[in-house]
Amino acid sequence: MSVRKLGGSRRAPRPWDKVWAQRAGRQAEPARRGLEPPKRRPPVNVDGAQRTAAAPPELDHLNPLVPPEVQRRTLSAIVERVREVALQGRRPVVELDLDLTALMPNERTEAALLALGHRHRVPELLEPHALPLLPGYTIEAWADFLEATGLGAKYPALRGVHSLDSSLYWDEAALHTDRVTPGLRGFVERVRQAGGRVVFNSGRWQATAEASSRQSFAAAGLTDVDLLIGNPGYSDAENKRRREAEIRARFGEVVAVIDDRKSNRDAIVSSLEPGVLSVAIALPGYSAAPDAKSGEHRISTFEL
Confidence of residue 233 (pLDDT cuts 50, 70, 90): confident
Confidence of residue 23 (pLDDT cuts 50, 70, 90): very low
Rounded distance between C-alpha atoms, residue 166 and residue 260, angstroms: 18
At 111-123, the pLDDT tens digits run 999 999 999 999 9
Confidence of residue 234 (pLDDT cuts 50, 70, 90): confident
pTM recorded for the entire structure:
0.82
On the CB side of 151, CA atoms within 13 Å amount to 28
As beta bridge partners, residue 186 has: none
Task: Tell me how far CA of residue 90 lies from CA of 15, 39, 82, 275, in angstroms.
Answer: 53, 43, 10, 15
Angle between helices 68-87 and 184-193 (to 10 degrees): 30
Chain-centre distance for alpha carbon 10: 33
Residue 168 burial (CB count, 10 A): 20
Answer yes or no: are the C-beta atoms of 298 and 177 closer than 8 Å.
no
Phi and psi, residue 182, nearest 5°: -50, 135
Query: In the chain, pLDDT over 90 holds for what percent of residues?
Result: 70
Quick one: pLDDT at residue 56? 61
Quick one: pLDDT at residue 236? 86
Rounded distance between C-alpha atoms, residue 241 and residue 248, angstroms: 12
Q: Which CATH architecture has domain 68-104+178-299?
A: 3-Layer(aba) Sandwich (3.40)
Average pLDDT, the chain: 84
At 177-201, the pLDDT tens digits run 999 999 999 999 999 999 999 999 9
